[in-house]
């Protein structure tokens, strides 16, 4: 395959992995088309090609969605590892802001060798997460499970800690940084109407901050450590 077709294959495999979630549900062609911003007909053609490869990278049935095969999942996790290690390297060593590392890593992730991957990981001290809090798959493809949930569903008054944030919208990342909504920060959701925004107290602040739904939908949280009200 050409470099461009290899990039396209990797992007499809990553998208299927992300959309299938932790339960490994089948992903519809329409969901893939929306995620990748391509025509549904293009998705169908690519899925047929991926299913026909030896070994097959996906299990695809028209009108029944698509699943990654073991080979496809292995490749997807490999690319995700490349991407997140690159994000961490760009952020920590080259001083890229966290709203720019995703796009740069997208360009590089397909082409680094396994040797370079290992060197980057060693230089970074084998980090667990990228700058946005997403888990970095281990070399063997294992991903440490995390009981994170969307901030939008978190109960009022219960201390939470931001575990990860979506990296797809640079403007949203800049706004989160301005507000202090960073991975590792603790917060509490305050009572109020949740339809358009959430009222939260961030860190040790006594001030209540309004967080719009665009940001709320991009933030995932876990329970704060016991005894930690805010940090």
Q: List the chain domain ranges.
A: 3-68, 149-223
Tens-place pLDDT, residues 179-220: 999 999 999 999 987 888 999 999 888 889 999 999 999 999
Q: Which residues of 131-155 are buried (b: 16+ CB within 10 A; e: fewer)?
A: bbbbbbbeeeeeeeebebeebeebe
Quick one: fold of 149-223?
SH3 type barrels. (2.30.30)
Q: For residues 184 and 101, what is the distance between their CA atoms, to the nearest angstrom?
A: 19
H helix runs in 21-113, sequence order: 29-36, 40-52, 70-92, 101-108
Q: Span 113-135, mean pLDDT?
A: 96
Q: For residues 18 and 40, what is the distance between their CA atoms, to the nearest angstrom?
A: 18
Confidence of residue 231 (pLDDT cuts 50, 70, 90): very low
Task: Evaluate if residue 227 carries a pLDDT over 70.
Answer: no
What pLDDT shows up at residue 91? 98
Q: For residues 223 and 162, what is the distance between their CA atoms, to the nearest angstrom?
A: 9
Q: For residues 114 and 132, what is the distance between their CA atoms, to the nearest angstrom?
A: 23
What pLDDT shows up at residue 23? 75
Tens-place pLDDT, residues 3-47: 555 889 999 999 999 999 877 789 999 999 999 999 988 999 999
What pLDDT shows up at residue 98? 97
Mean pLDDT of the chain: 92
In CATH, what class is 3-68? mainly alpha
Tens-place pLDDT, residues 155-174: 999 999 999 999 999 999 99
Tens-place pLDDT, residues 81-91: 999 999 999 99
Chain centroid to CA 154: how far? 19
Structure tokens at 65: 């969605």
What pLDDT shows up at residue 228? 62
Q: Among 61-65, 124-128, 152-156, 160-164, which is the least confidently predicted range? A: 61-65
Q: Which residues of 18-36 are buried (b: 16+ CB within 10 A; e: fewer)?
A: ebbeeeeeebbbebbbebb
Q: At what angle do helices 3-20 and 70-92 cross, to 10 degrees?
A: 100
């Amino acid at each position: 395959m050409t470099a461009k077709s290899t990039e396209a294959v990797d992007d499809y495999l990553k998208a299927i992995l992300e959309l299938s979630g932790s339960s490994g549900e089948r992903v519809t062609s329409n969901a893939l088309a929306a995620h990748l911003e391509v025509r549904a007909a293009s998705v169908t053609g690519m899925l047929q090609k991926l299913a026909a490869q030896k070994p097959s990278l996906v299990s695809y049935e028209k009108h029944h969605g698509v699943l990654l095969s073991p080979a496809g999942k292995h490749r997807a996790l490999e690319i995700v590892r490349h991407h997140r290690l690159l994000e961490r390297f760009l952020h920590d060593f080259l001083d890229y802001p966290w709203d720019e590392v995703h796009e740069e890593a997208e360009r590089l992730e397909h082409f680094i060798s396994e040797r370079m991957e290992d060197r980057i990981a060693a230089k970074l001290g084998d980090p667990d997460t990228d700058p946005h809090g997403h888990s970095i798959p281990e070399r063997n493809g294992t991903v440490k499970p995390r009981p994170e949930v969307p901030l939008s569903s978190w109960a009022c008054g219960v201390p939470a800690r931001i575990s990860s944030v979506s990296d797809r919208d640079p403007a949203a990342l800049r706004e989160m940084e301005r507000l202090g909504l960073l991975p590792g920060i603790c917060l509490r959701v305050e009572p109020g109407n949740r339809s358009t925004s959430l009222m939260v107290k961030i860190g040790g602040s006594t001030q209540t901050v309004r967080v719009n739904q665009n940001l709320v939908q991009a933030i995932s949280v876990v329970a704060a450590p016991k005894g930690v009200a805010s940090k």
